């Protein structure tokens, strides 16, 4: 049989990629020692469908659209593919044949490529001695076979197996380039590419629990839920709002801050309302509305209550072609945009799509800004969505003062123990005693 009739084989792996038509050539699949089939397509296969007889089968029901959540299937598809690649060697250690896996979607371009790239990244991060899943009872995933034992993609039982691995962990781009050597037309859609980069940034979690408990994944899912609410002109549920200061206190996220930000913010300014990142640039030049990279504290100008630290600021950029009606001066933006913070909880719990933000000091309550879930337009012309804007005129920006080191930068009117002195009084003595 001509090689043109065979699915594309990923170099170095018995993983084959093709479109739906590959299932109409079961003899060709069996001739390539394929034992497992992953169907990344939202189509209900008939029970006992003839082309799948004799194959272990995992169905991943999703459409090839940018907002489909393909990431949630990676732990199951990785385990299933890994099981398939070692199917014969595990069942019969003396069997020299190597089993293979077919991953297909409709055209063999986007969904199937995404599943394979995720596996290549994941397996490249595993130790040399990889724990192989045992063949057990049917899992809760849509896995089936018409002959032989069924494969549980989520099983925890394992036996050690030695495999050949890349010399270093693969990036999204490296894994995609490897697959394109065999199938140049593969092209995950933009949403799938973002999810692959998110998966890479998270370290390619192995289990469903590791994935769903990861802070980055939780933030992303919350963002998706917020998007759904806003598309219906509703305020988000409180359970879906991530208060960043509370999350940063719980630890457990070893992502670099800039990587974490790139997958958690909503932008409704684009025509397709996709999840984007307002601080995608890694330039050392401060962006519009941003604070200097050194740590800065925002304090209420009226009562000096701490409002936010600079790590909770959402940088943004002015549009490339500004509206002539917008002030094009080089003055700082009128608002500093923040992530949702815990002191906003009471205000957001009222369920409004927009409103004002007040100083969290109950004895002050000064109006310090505003919020709008559907976005705020900055004085520079840029949109931040959702927008939590603090008026720059209502806060002071100051360097934090370390305890016990005397007056800090921007606090020259304080004594050695950070005591505010009356006007006209000066610090006396080397130890700061009054």
**Active site residue ranges:** 105
Distance between CA 411 and CA 306 in Å, rounded? 15
CB 390 within 8 A of CB 368: yes
Residue reference for tokens 């208060």: 243
* DSSP-assigned letters across all residues of 272-335: T--B--TT----SSPPTTPPPSS--EEEETTT--EEEEGGGB------SS--TTS--SSSPPSE
Distance between CA 122 and CA 116 in Å, rounded? 10
* The 297-300 sheet, strands edge to edge: 306-309, 297-300, 395-398
Distance between CA 146 and CA 52 in Å, rounded? 8
* DSSP-assigned letters across all residues of 329-368: SSSPPSEEEB---GGGHHHHTT--SEEEEE-S-TTT--EE
Q: How many CB atoms lie within 10 A of CB 261?
A: 21
* DSSP-assigned letters across all residues of 154-207: T---EEEEE----SSPPPHHHHHHHHHHH-TT----HHHHHHHHHHHHTT---S
- Nearest-CA neighbor of 36 among 86, 73, 75? 86
- Nearest-CA neighbor of 383 among 274, 270, 297, 282? 270
Distance between CA 41 and CA 199 in Å, rounded? 21
Helix (H) or strand (E) holding 390: strand 387-391
Q: What angle do CA 112, 264, 379 make, to 5 degrees?
A: 130
User: 12-28: string of b/e by CB count within 10 Å (b at 16+)?
Assistant: ebbbbbbebebbebbeb
Q: What angle do CA 244, 248, 254 make, to 5 degrees?
A: 125
Coil, helix or strand at residue 123:
helix
CB 121 within 8 A of CB 78: no
């Amino acid at each position: 049989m001509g090689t043109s009739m065979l699915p594309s084989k990923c170099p170095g792996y018995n993983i084959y990629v093709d479109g739906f038509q590959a299932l109409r050539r079961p003899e060709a699949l069996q001739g390539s020692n394929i034992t497992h089939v992953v169907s990344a397509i939202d189509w209900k296969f008939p029970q006992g469908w003839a082309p799948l007889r004799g194959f272990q089968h995992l169905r991943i029901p999703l459409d090839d659209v940018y907002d489909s959540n393909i990431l949630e299937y990676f732990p199951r598809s990785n385990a299933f593919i890994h099981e398939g690649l070692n199917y014969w060697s595990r069942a019969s250690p003396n069997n020299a044949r190597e089993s293979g896996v077919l991953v297909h979607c409709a055209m063999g371009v986007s969904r199937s490529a995404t599943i394979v790239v995720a596996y290549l990244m994941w397996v490249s991060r595993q130790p040399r001695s990889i724990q192989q899943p045992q063949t057990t009872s049917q899992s809760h995933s849509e896995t089936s076979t018409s002959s032989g034992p069924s494969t549980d993609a989520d099983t925890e039982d394992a036996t050690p197996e030695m495999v050949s691995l890349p010399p270093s962990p693969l990036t999204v781009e490296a894994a995609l380039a490897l697959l394109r050597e065999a199938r140049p037309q593969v092209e995950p859609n933009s949403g799938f590419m973002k999810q692959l980069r998110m998966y890479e940034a998270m370290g390619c979690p192995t289990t469903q629990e590791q994935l769903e408990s990861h802070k980055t994944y939780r933030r992303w899912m919350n963002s998706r839920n917020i998007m759904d609410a806003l598309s219906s002109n509703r305020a988000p549920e409180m359970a879906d709002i991530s208060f960043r200061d509370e999350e940063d206190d719980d630890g457990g996220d070893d992502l670099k801050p800039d990587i974490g930000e790139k997958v958690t913010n909503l932008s409704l300014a684009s025509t397709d309302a996709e999840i984007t990142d307002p601080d995608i640039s890694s330039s050392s030049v401060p962006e519009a509305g941003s604070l200097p990279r050194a740590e800065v504290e925002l304090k209420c100008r009226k009562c000096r209550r701490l409002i936010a630290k600079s790590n909770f600021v959402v940088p943004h950029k002015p549009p490339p072609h500004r509206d002539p009606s917008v002030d094009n001066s080089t003055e700082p933006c009128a608002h500093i945009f923040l992530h949702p913070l815990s002191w906003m909880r009471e205000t957001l719990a009222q369920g409004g799509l927009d409103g004002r933000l007040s100083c969290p000091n109950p004895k002050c309550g000064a109006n310090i800004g505003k919020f709008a879930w559907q976005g705020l337009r900055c004085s520079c012309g840029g949109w931040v969505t959702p927008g939590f804007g603090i008026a720059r005129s209502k806060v002071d920006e100051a360097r934090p003062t370390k305890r016990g080191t005397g007056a800090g930068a921007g606090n020259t009117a304080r004594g050695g123990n950070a005591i505010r002195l009356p006007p006209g009084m000066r610090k006396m003595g080397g130890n700061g005693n009054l």
